[in-house]
Amino acid sequence: MQQGPSRTALAAASHRAAHQLLDAGAVFPDPLAVAIVGRPAADIAADAEANPAGRGMRWFIAARAKFAEDKLAEAVADRGVSQLVVLGAGLDTFAYRNPFEGRLRVFEVDHPATQAWKRERLAAAGIAIPATMVFAPVDFERDTLANGLARAGFDPARRTFFTWLGVVPYLTAAAIQATLETIARVPGGAEVVFDYSDPPATLSPEMARHQQVRAARVAALGEPFLSFFEPADLHALLSGLGLSEINDLGPSDVVSRLMGAVPGENAPTRGGHVIFAGTAQA
C-alpha cells in the first residue's frame, strides 16, 4: 500500500502474538511477537478468542514460520548459508533474536511505508536493531528485488536463504515469477521458503466458504488475493528456473510434521502449502 503500512502484515503479526498467548507458542515460540505488535497482551488474546474461526490461520502462520526457521538452521549448519533475505518482512522478528549472530547477515525487504512503520514499532517496543540487520526498501510491483538488494549491500557471491511468508497470494503471477527468477539467479546459490494456496475451485465446499470470507476481508483492506497455484504447475516453474530441490508440505503434512498432530478423518487435502526450494550446490 502506498500511503501506509500493510494491514495484512499487522494481522499476521497479531496471529503470531496470539499464538504465544493462547497456545503458549507450542509450534513456534517467539519472545518478541507480543511486544512488536504494540497492543496490550490481554487485548490481543481477547480479539483472538472472539474470532474462533481464525484459529486455523493462527496455527498455519506459526507452522510456516517454524518450517522456515528450521530449514534456515539446516542451511546455516550444513550448506554454509551466511545471508538471509526476509521478503515482505512486515513485523517479522527473526533479525532481532538471530541465534546465528556473527554468522548470518539479515536483509529485510519490504515496502518503504511498511518499513517506516516497523521502525516505529521497534523503537516503541525497545527492540534494538542489530548491526547484522539491513533494511532494503522495495515495492515488489514497481521495483526489482535485485536493485533493492544491491543498494543494501547484498553479496550475490554468497549462498543465501530467502523467506517469503504471507506475500505470494497478494502478488501478480508476473511479480512472483520475476522474484523467483532473481532468487534462482543468485550466483552463490539460493534457497527459499514461501507459502501459497491451491486454487479456490479445488477446495472442498467448507474450505471454499472460509476462503471466500478471507478473500473478502483482505480485499476490503486494499490487499486482495491475486495468485493461486496447482502444486504440479508450481513445481514445474521452480524446476525450470533451477530451483530443483523441492519440499512441498500440503495441509495434512503441515498438521502432522509441523504441528505434531494426527490429521483428523476429515482433514483437508487441499488448501495452504508451505514449500522449500533451492538450487543445487556446486
* Per-residue exposure over 190-210, b if at least 16 CB sit within 10 Å of its own CB, e if not: bbbbbbbbbeeeebeeebeeb
Instruction: Assign 246 a pLDDT band (cuts: 50, 70, 90).
Output: very high
Cα separation, 132 vs 150, in Å, equals: 16
pLDDT at 31: 97
Cα separation, 15 vs 54, in Å, equals: 8
pLDDT at 108: 98
pLDDT at 282: 66
Query: Is pLDDT of 217 > 90?
Result: no
Instruction: Assign 127 a pLDDT band (cuts: 50, 70, 90).
Output: very high
Question: Who contacts 205 (Cβ-Cβ below 8 Å, separation ≥6)?
Answer: none
Stated pTM of the model: 0.91
Cα separation, 232 vs 9, in Å, equals: 28
C-alpha cell of residue 114: 511498511
Cα separation, 69 vs 187, in Å, equals: 23
182-201 tens-digit pLDDT? 999 999 999 999 999 988 88
Query: Is pLDDT of 43 > 50?
Result: yes
Query: Is pLDDT of 90 > 70?
Result: yes
C-alpha of 273 from chain center:
12
Query: Is pLDDT of 205 > 70?
Result: yes
pLDDT at 72: 98
Query: Is pLDDT of 207 > 90?
Result: no
- Return the amino acid letter for 193: V
pLDDT at 260: 74
Domains of the chain (ranges, CATH numbers): 7-278 (3.40.50.150)
pLDDT at 1: 44
Cα separation, 202 vs 259, in Å, equals: 24
For the chain, the average pLDDT equals 91
pLDDT at 231: 95
